Chain A
């Protein structure tokens, strides 16, 4: 028996000293490989444990693959499981060796024990090696027909995995229709649920490729399927229930009686212990009743209690997620929740993210009847130890005041805050008092009396200081020493770091001057002098402006600076109602937690194209690219404004790899471009041999975008592409189906390009810099598939490209379709040259 394995009954993972440990393990594994002696399993288990613990902590033990596979012939399930785990982890990097495992996995798929059958099938499907796909079809087919539901359940998910490895194999084997049959007939609900999730994923991914996919997807939300699932919903596991409920939200009932039937059937789901089920049900209810206003209100009443209960149970994370959804609902229909305001009171030791949400909700639900209590409660928080929350609650008080309920009492409270003698409280209260005065000038008398007592030295925060200064200027006639306070502030001009404060100071001094000229004159002079000398552009400009307007005509200046003011009635909302509606549509998703719609955080740059899928349907949209204009391009844009065309050419010449090509041109250039016939302006030494290029001898002289010919005469290229083109995937799909293939050719790629094409993303970025955008990409070495699109500059004419690159043969199959057939040749040349530059630094 192996001594090291014995010495450690439960090995805590330790770093292996080096290669020697690995070879040691290898030797020992080899020793047990063929042995069937009793007790061998135990020692094997220790060895396997070791190997897997190394694997878990990130040490590469793939060199043991062969030995591990040899040892896998065993009847011990735990050993098998460990072995499956190992194989699943390393098969992807060792496709050749993975072939070895197929044999024993396939054998296990016919084992007596359904557990082993299931496990083997799961591992088999988890290998994710493209060239082993053919071995999957058989076991999967028999797995789907297995008598044991556990095996069927695994097989269904296996089909989905197969689809991700090789979609065509999966479709060809007719698995989707088998899944559909299983979904509608299987007795085990987990099998049904797995079928549903697999079918949903397959059809939505397939939607771009086949005609029937959208139809099949529609069929999933057809009445019979929905009713079948609804009737069995109680048998499903809680997670599957979520899945079904999500599906139901997409279903459009034919009439209102159907809506009520569904809601009656699902009503008890609101009392489920699992919060996910409750929220999914809430979403169904909200979506179903969107068109029925009065029922929608009743739904709010109905879901209120379950949601409030969910908030008070469970971990802080759970309650935060529920609270975010509640927040959304409260914002939409505050009046429904106005009697439950006490639920939104903050507890002392809640995390501050929860408190913040609650404060916003308290603000929203405030109305005539509860304002007094809510404000009293908020004032308690102002004395909170948690400073950000204290500030937040002061702001909440202010917001409630601006909502016009019981302003009288609130103003008193705010003034109390000012007297609280705490920096941050004073600061926030000042800002609020300023806003209040803008809305309710009638309160100025009371406020000014208190504000006048505040020493400007105690106010440090720029926003608060600006607010104070604004009030000094606006109400200088009521405040005895306003001019003198301003004067002392101006004396310390240089110590004032915030430009905002200096701007306000200038304006305030001006206002004060018109009201009390003799007292302010000297201060105004000093302020203007300091302002004109200020290094900040805005301050400088404003000072100069005041100076000149005063010299021009004092009464005009007064009308400009100090016009009669109207009370502000509504402050601008920070989030548009459109965005709020978008978030509401995405109820029960992360959008609600982030408080922004999904397109704002599903950014292509951050996510990258999905690893397995190379279809259009579930790929992200090109619009994200607009947000991430490379800084270089921005710079180029700036230069464009200043430089002449000739200079531009030089800059372009000296800038690297020709990425300046996509700089938008001025309009004159584009007129010229449209006059000129379809021609491409690009040539490239590496592809110069191509016949199309030879015919454009004149363009070779232009040498656009080419570092090699920097002194070429300035002339814009004839076909220009829009650097910020946008096209959504569905339009792309539609166009791709409609348009005929304009051009189809095979290009060869340079060795550098092949070397650089390790992942699809690399090419995407390169092509993007040539104004050719990728809408979908996928594949693994050696086969990559891309769908590109480009848009003619200042025209809506689109070019669509399918490009299949095989890195082993260094060939690219390109199919081009174009809205404007006549320009497709020019675009092809452009595309070719862009592709040919890939990989060349």
Chain B
């Protein structure tokens, strides 16, 4: 049996369960074991995965929620199974529930990017790559046929699509043409490699001065995109031979946790000064040289910009209903952003 099939299926089960139960832990499963049994019954039979699309499962087995609980108390009818079979099991668009109706036709597109970067101690980019996802949240009536195009599709290195995306239009014109599932889903994911710069720089310095080790870390912006960077954090592991650390910063807060993890949350960078962290480390014994250098892991969030430069050009609905509200957002955050010292 293919290993990924097993792993992907388990991931799907956990997604569906946490979707249904609003979390996934032992207690939640114990409290809702009937639903869990019902779900597993539909998701796998005789060792072969059957229905795993959340939309269809939702039609077969109603999720437990407050509304249905209230309803069951009021009406006394507490069956959480719908009376009819979902139409989509027979349709050729298995991801879409049959004919939902919405008063407002809305579709939101989010570009979420994660930046994976390694910077070495000389400040040189060793590796910089962006992994991005296009997440769509659609609430559209009927059977909508959407097309989405990018302003600059050529910069995408490799793409993966939700099954709803038609392959041919992408191959010929780099246009995403699809009938979306209802609700939130991941339309595509992509990779952009060989980026030239990072939005933020971190300059760590370690120096020894008369038996004491001084740490000095500077964090600053490379301002080239005009958006503010939020929730900047910095984390690093102190070498195991460090006895104690005395660290202070001019902005944000510094915490040294029990396992010698040091975290510095800066938040937003103030206009007037450059955040810096400095302090001294005390070692078990006097060391001439440090053998283990900490790696600084950086976290940040930039709203409103996709750092890879990917831009959505337009989103069209083929069969135009009365009105359509479209919303776009972009967000870049740090993935594995590490700076070595």
Partner of A77, one of B1, B79, B240: B79
Judge whether A795 is part of the interface by a CB distance below 8 angstroms.
no
Q: B82-118 toward A: CB 8 Å interface, digit per residue (1/0)?
A: 0111000110101000000000000000000000101
Which one of A49, A243, A308, A385 lies within 8 Å of B240 (CB-CB)?
A385
B67, CB-defined interface residue at 8 Å: no
Interface string of A157-199 (1 = CB under 8 A from B): 1001100000000000000000000000001111000100100
The answer to whether B167 and A268 have CB atoms under 8 Å apart is yes
Query: Given A149-B89, A309-B158, do A588 and B191 touch, yes or no (CB 8 Å)?
Result: no
Choice from A49, A149, A272, A309 contacting B34 with Cβ under 8 Å: A49
Q: Are the C-beta atoms of B1 and A56 separated by less than 8 Å? A: no
**Nearest CB of chain B from residue A25's CB, rounded to whole Å:** 17
- Among A115, A190, A309, A349, point to the contact of B191 (Cβ < 8 A): A309
Q: Is B326 an interface residue (CB 8 A)?
A: no
Residue contact B2 to A242, C-beta cutoff 8 Å: yes
> Least Cβ distance of A117 to chain B in Å?
10
CB-nearest residue of chain A to B27 = A12
B127 — nearest CB in chain A belongs to which residue? A342
Interface centre among A13, A122, A242, A273 (most CB of B within 10 A): A273
Taking CB atoms, residues of chain A closer than 8 Å to B297 are 348-349
User: Known: A12-B27, A45-B78. Is A589-B338 also a contact (CB below 8 A)?
Assistant: no
Which residues of chain B have C-beta atoms less than 8 A from A197's C-beta? 48
Q: In the complex, what distance in Å separates the CA atom of A314 from the CA atom of B4?
A: 11
Q: Which residues of A contact B1 (CB under 8 A)?
A: 589-590
- Residues 293-334 (chain A) with a chain B CB within 8 angstroms: 305-306, 308-310, 312-315, 317-318, 321-322, 324
Give A593 to B1 CA distance when docked, in angstroms: 12
A-contacting residues, B1-18, CB 8 Å: 1-5, 7-9, 11
With A12-B27, A81-B38, A237-B52 already in contact, the answer to whether A308 and B191 are too (CB < 8 A) is: yes
- In angstroms, Cα B93 to Cα A189, docked, is 11
A563 at the interface (CB under 8 A from B): no
Q: What are 24 A-B interface contacts by the 8 Å CB criterion?
A: A52-B34, A81-B38, A81-B41, A85-B41, A115-B60, A115-B85, A119-B41, A150-B89, A157-B46, A190-B50, A194-B48, A197-B48, A238-B52, A273-B188, A275-B8, A276-B4, A276-B5, A279-B2, A308-B158, A309-B160, A313-B131, A385-B239, A589-B2, A590-B3
Tell whether A113 is near chain B: CB-to-CB under 8 Å.
Answer: yes
User: What number of residue pairs across chains A and B have CB atoms under 8 A from each other?
Assistant: 199
Does more than half of chain A's interface fall in helix, strand or loop, or is it mixed?
A: helix
Give the chain A neighbours of B2 by CB distance below 8 A: 242, 246, 276, 279-280, 588-589
* A10 CB-CB contact with B under 8 Å: yes
B126–A148 contact, CB under 8 A?
Answer: no
Residues of B with C-beta under 8 A to A321: 3-4, 7
Tell which of A157, A234, A306 touches B158, judged by Cβ atoms closer than 8 Å.
Answer: A306
Cross-chain contact A148 with B85 (CB below 8 angstroms): yes
On whether the beta carbons of A12 and B30 are closer than 8 Å, the reply is: yes
Residues of A within 8 A of B340 (CB): 380
List A contacts of B94 (CB < 8 A): 237
Please tell me if A709 contacts chain B, counting CB pairs below 8 Å: no
Residues in chain A near residue B4, CB distance under 8 A:
275-276, 279, 318, 321-322, 588
Residues of chain A with a CB closer than 8 A to B190's CB: 309
A contact residues vs B (CB 8 Å cutoff): 10, 12-13, 38-39, 42, 45, 49, 52-53, 56, 76-78, 81-82, 85, 113-115, 119, 122, 148-150, 153-154, 157, 160-161, 187-190, 194, 197, 234-235, 237-239, 242-243, 246, 268, 271-276, 278-280, 305-306, 308-310, 312-315, 317-318, 321-322, 324, 342, 345, 347-349, 377, 380, 383-385, 420-422, 425, 588-590, 592-593
CB distance from B130 to the nearest CB of A (A): 10
Question: Which residues from chain A contact B76 at a C-beta distance below 8 Å?
Answer: 38-39, 42
List A contacts of B45 (CB < 8 A).
122, 154, 157
- Residues on the B chain within 8 Å of A78, using CB: 34, 38, 78-81
Q: Which of B229-279 contact A (CB under 8 A)?
A: 237, 239-240
Pick from A39, A271, A275, A348: contact of B336, CB below 8 A: A348
